[in-house]
Amino acid sequence: MEQEHHHGYIENKANYLNRLKRIEGQARGLQKMVDEEKYCIDILTQISAMTSALESVALGLLDEHLNHCVLHAAQQGGEEADRKIQEASRAIARLVRS
Protein backbone atom coordinates (compact mmCIF):
# COMPACT_ATOMS: atom_id res chain seq x y z
CA MET A 1 0.00 0.00 0.00
CA GLU A 2 1.46 3.37 -1.04
CA GLN A 3 1.66 5.95 1.74
CA GLU A 4 -0.05 9.25 0.94
CA HIS A 5 2.36 12.20 1.14
CA HIS A 6 1.32 15.54 2.64
CA HIS A 7 3.35 18.71 2.52
CA GLY A 8 4.70 19.97 5.83
CA TYR A 9 2.55 23.10 5.84
CA ILE A 10 -0.76 21.23 5.43
CA GLU A 11 -1.67 21.55 9.12
CA ASN A 12 -1.28 25.34 8.83
CA LYS A 13 -2.79 25.66 5.37
CA ALA A 14 -5.69 27.89 6.52
CA ASN A 15 -3.26 30.19 8.33
CA TYR A 16 -1.06 30.53 5.24
CA LEU A 17 -4.08 31.17 3.01
CA ASN A 18 -5.34 33.89 5.35
CA ARG A 19 -1.94 35.55 5.45
CA LEU A 20 -1.65 35.42 1.65
CA LYS A 21 -5.13 36.91 1.27
CA ARG A 22 -4.07 39.80 3.52
CA ILE A 23 -0.98 40.29 1.36
CA GLU A 24 -3.20 40.25 -1.73
CA GLY A 25 -5.27 43.01 -0.12
CA GLN A 26 -2.10 44.97 0.59
CA ALA A 27 -1.14 44.68 -3.09
CA ARG A 28 -4.53 46.03 -4.14
CA GLY A 29 -4.10 48.84 -1.63
CA LEU A 30 -0.74 49.71 -3.15
CA GLN A 31 -2.26 49.87 -6.62
CA LYS A 32 -4.94 52.21 -5.30
CA MET A 33 -2.32 54.38 -3.59
CA VAL A 34 -0.41 54.77 -6.85
CA ASP A 35 -3.62 55.37 -8.81
CA GLU A 36 -4.60 58.08 -6.31
CA GLU A 37 -1.06 59.52 -6.48
CA LYS A 38 -0.38 59.17 -2.75
CA TYR A 39 2.88 60.38 -1.20
CA CYS A 40 5.89 58.29 -2.26
CA ILE A 41 7.09 57.60 1.29
CA ASP A 42 3.65 56.29 2.27
CA ILE A 43 3.71 53.91 -0.70
CA LEU A 44 7.25 52.78 0.16
CA THR A 45 6.17 52.17 3.76
CA GLN A 46 3.36 49.91 2.56
CA ILE A 47 5.72 48.10 0.18
CA SER A 48 8.05 47.45 3.10
CA ALA A 49 5.17 46.04 5.18
CA MET A 50 4.10 43.81 2.30
CA THR A 51 7.66 42.60 1.75
CA SER A 52 7.97 41.72 5.44
CA ALA A 53 4.67 39.84 5.32
CA LEU A 54 5.83 37.81 2.30
CA GLU A 55 9.17 37.08 3.95
CA SER A 56 7.35 35.86 7.04
CA VAL A 57 5.25 33.45 4.97
CA ALA A 58 8.35 32.27 3.12
CA LEU A 59 10.27 31.63 6.34
CA GLY A 60 7.33 29.76 7.83
CA LEU A 61 7.04 27.54 4.77
CA LEU A 62 10.79 26.96 4.74
CA ASP A 63 10.77 25.99 8.42
CA GLU A 64 7.92 23.56 7.86
CA HIS A 65 9.67 22.12 4.81
CA LEU A 66 12.87 21.57 6.76
CA ASN A 67 11.08 20.02 9.73
CA HIS A 68 8.88 17.77 7.62
CA CYS A 69 10.11 16.95 4.12
CA VAL A 70 13.86 17.35 4.64
CA LEU A 71 13.86 15.70 8.06
CA HIS A 72 11.87 12.73 6.75
CA ALA A 73 14.19 12.33 3.76
CA ALA A 74 17.29 12.64 5.98
CA GLN A 75 15.96 9.91 8.25
CA GLN A 76 15.47 7.67 5.20
CA GLY A 77 18.93 8.50 3.86
CA GLY A 78 20.24 7.88 0.36
CA GLU A 79 19.80 9.93 -2.79
CA GLU A 80 16.44 11.36 -1.74
CA ALA A 81 18.02 12.86 1.39
CA ASP A 82 20.78 14.42 -0.70
CA ARG A 83 18.24 15.78 -3.17
CA LYS A 84 16.03 17.31 -0.45
CA ILE A 85 18.99 18.93 1.30
CA GLN A 86 20.25 20.44 -1.97
CA GLU A 87 16.73 21.62 -2.81
CA ALA A 88 16.43 23.31 0.61
CA SER A 89 19.86 24.91 0.21
CA ARG A 90 18.83 26.38 -3.16
CA ALA A 91 15.57 27.68 -1.67
CA ILE A 92 17.47 29.34 1.19
CA ALA A 93 19.90 30.90 -1.29
CA ARG A 94 16.98 32.33 -3.31
CA LEU A 95 15.45 33.82 -0.15
CA VAL A 96 18.75 35.36 0.92
CA ARG A 97 19.27 36.94 -2.52
CA SER A 98 15.78 38.41 -2.69
pTM: 0.81
pLDDT digits (tens, 9 = 90+) for 61-92: 999 999 999 999 999 999 999 999 999 999 99
Domains of the chain: 13-97 (1.20.58.1000)
> 10 — phi, psi (to 5°)?
-55, -35
The average pLDDT across 19-31 equals 97
Using the CB atoms, write b or e for 21-38: b if 16+ within 10 Å.
Answer: eebeebeeebeebeeeee
Predicted local confidence at residue 5, as pLDDT: 59
Please state, rounded to an integer, the average pLDDT across all residues of the chain. 91
